[in-house]
Each structure stands twice: as structure tokens, then as C-alpha cells.
Amino acid sequence: MSVEIKVPTLGESITEATIGEWLKKPGEAVKADEPVASLETDKVSVEVPAPADGVMGAHAAQPGDTVAVGAVIGYLEAGGAAAAPATPAAAPAATPAAAAVADEPAGDLTLSPSVRRLVLEHGLDPTQIRGTGKDGRLTKEDVLAAAEAAKAKAPATPAAAPAVAAAAPAPAGARREERVRMSRLRQTIASRLKEAQNTAAMLTTFNDVDMTAVIEARARYKDLFEKKHGVRLGFMGFFVKAAVQALRDVPAVNASIEGDEIVYRDYVDVSVAVSAPNGLVVPVIRDAQEMSVATIEKTIGDFGKRAKDGTLKIDEMKGGTFTISNGGVFGSLLSTPIINPPQSAVLGLHRIEDRPVVRDGQIVVRPMMYLALSYDHRLIDGREAVTFLVALKNAIEDPTRLLIDL
């Protein structure tokens, strides 16, 4: 008896997805709720769980296919038969680690597609790897570290060298191309960014900020902060807190246009851009105006880990009234970020570098950062944009203002 594997409900307003990859091949044993396929939506990658125990049957859709919510993408056959056994000649040659992977003991674990791929590539037993992710989940870093440890313990194999050397070298001067289908996430990012350029009257204004006070505060309190709150004290906590305060002073920057109306909000939901395997994703810190710096740092840290593991939920990407994008972590000196509709503004942070500046008539060297605010000029005037950046700059250069609400 076959059980249909269907595309699960993906969240409000999401009606279809793209098959990313199959995590189970026909004939492989599957346990209930074990991921059998990954789907790409316009917001995030999600996994399709097996509806019951059984054996993976036929795939009704292939990687790259667009499928609607509720569509049948595969079948699960009843019974607990394992995958076809190895041939007698091959069985003795299988190493314990390879056999463990073939038998898929990871069915008791929840592995993201990228982690599962690494486990299989390196022939590791995931049950023997200690996970450092949330709830003990395995991360890519855990698998890579285990692979390096296994490589260091393995004896040298001189016989393998000639085989590598025998590989045919690429012809001199060869020019190659590779065509890779754009993921649904990348297609959506391209569409939304272009939509923002076509719809909003975008303008960017700049300022710079002296990071001396924040760097000194971080150096002074980082150990105590981590000991008390269990998370590192970074710069984003300061910037989110300062942005919330500046948005309260200039509410238009936190507003949006809907039809012929302007929607003003008494809350701040900050979208923060974080790196994921398939590109940037933008989870939302909700009600940031109610949070301490410690709570903000914990939330961002959790988003960052789960973005790498591919476990962010779709609902965590929705909404947002203002975006902060930190290109400085990649070394960016200056940029003009693009608004994330229907928001009306985005703040770009950049790298910190020592530059000569004038203080009290003297040229001194200070750690400086450029700030960029891109905004919809239909709603936000230049005066309001500059006022927002100056308020943010003042709060960062004198963090005491964040404590006494100035």
C-alpha cells in the first residue's frame, strides 16, 4: 500500500515551492517524520517529513520542479524493508562509518539538507558527532570538524596518489561555463529588489560614526556580559537599540505607504539580514522597542545559527518595519542598500577602519564607520532622513544616551 507524500502548508500567502533535492532515494528505509525532501520557497528552505514509517517509493517530482501546496511529490511504500543490501563482494569492503551512513542511522536525528550532504560526502556516522547547534543539532561546522579529525587519524594511503595523478588534466587555455538554475529564493530576491527600484522614489543619504565609545564599552564588559547572558556582546545590539530610539524620534522612517494612506506604527519590528547557504535571509526581531541589548543579541545569534542550519521558519521572515543590513562583516566600505518593500527605509552598516579625523582642532586617528540610509522619498523627506542618521550617530558615539533615553 502506497502513502502519498504531499507538499505541506508553507505559510500564509505561499502557494507553491520548488523541489530543492530528494534526501531519500527509492528503496531506502524511512521513519515517520524523517525529512525525505527539501523545498525552496521565496523566503526559506523547508523540509518535507515522511508521513509514516516505510520504504521510499517513486519520486513524482524532480529537483527544480515547481509544485503547489498539497501536490503529491512522491510515494512511501508500506513495510520496513531496508534498502537493497550490498553485493557480497562489496560488503566486506565497507568501512564501519560508511555502513552506518548507508543504513541511515540519522533517521533519529534532524539534519538539514546541507548537513546531510556533508555527512554523506565524508562517509561519517552522524550519531557519533557531537552537535553544537540548538537542541544539540548538527551544524556544517560540526561535520567539517569531524571530517578533519577523521582525516588526521586515518593512515596514509600511498596507493591512492597515482590514481589522483592519473586524472586527465584540463586542456591549457580551456574556457568553461556552468549553468545553474536560480533558486526560488534568489529569483524572489531579484524580483523584489527590482520592484523596489521601480516603485519607490529611492534616495540614499550618508553619515559616519566614531565607534570609539562602543568599542571601549564592548571591550570593558564583554566577559561579564557573556558570563551573565550566555551570548557575546556584539555591535548589532547597540545599533538596533539606537535605531529603535531614532525611529521613535522620526516615525516616518518606520512607516509605510499603503495605497493613498501612510501607516504609522508604535512598534518596531527590525529585519536583520543574515547569511544562509543559499543567500541572505531577513528574519525579524519583533517588538525590538521592548528588548534589552542582551535580548537583541540572543535573538540575532539564534537567527544566525538557524539560518546556517536551514531551520528558520517562514513566519520568522514575515513583516518587519525597518531593515538593518551589515555589509561590514564582509569588508564593505560603502554601499547604497535597496529598500525591502513595503518598508520605507533600510540602514546599511559598513566596516570599521581607522581614519584621521579632527577633534578639538587636532587631527587624531579614530575607528570610523560609514552609515547609509536608503529611503522612499515619497514618504520620507531629506530632513527626516538626516535627522534619523544624526540621532543614530549621537547614540552610538555616546551610548549613555541609550540608557537615559536622549
Active-site residue list: 377, 381
**Residues 6+ away with beta carbon under 8 Å from 7:** 17, 39, 48, 67, 68, 69, 70, 71, 73
Cα angle value 283/289/292 (rounded, 5°): 90
Q: How far is CA 389 from CA 17, 165, 190, 272, 394, in A?
A: 39, 59, 28, 18, 9
Residue 335, judged by CB atoms within 10 A of its CB (0-12, 13-18, 19+), counts as middle
* Partners of residue 37 on adjacent β-strands: 22, 48
CA quadruple 378, 380, 382, 383: dihedral, nearest 10: 140
Residue 11 Rama label (left phi>0; alpha psi -120 to 50; beta): left
Residue 54 Rama label (left phi>0; alpha psi -120 to 50; beta): left
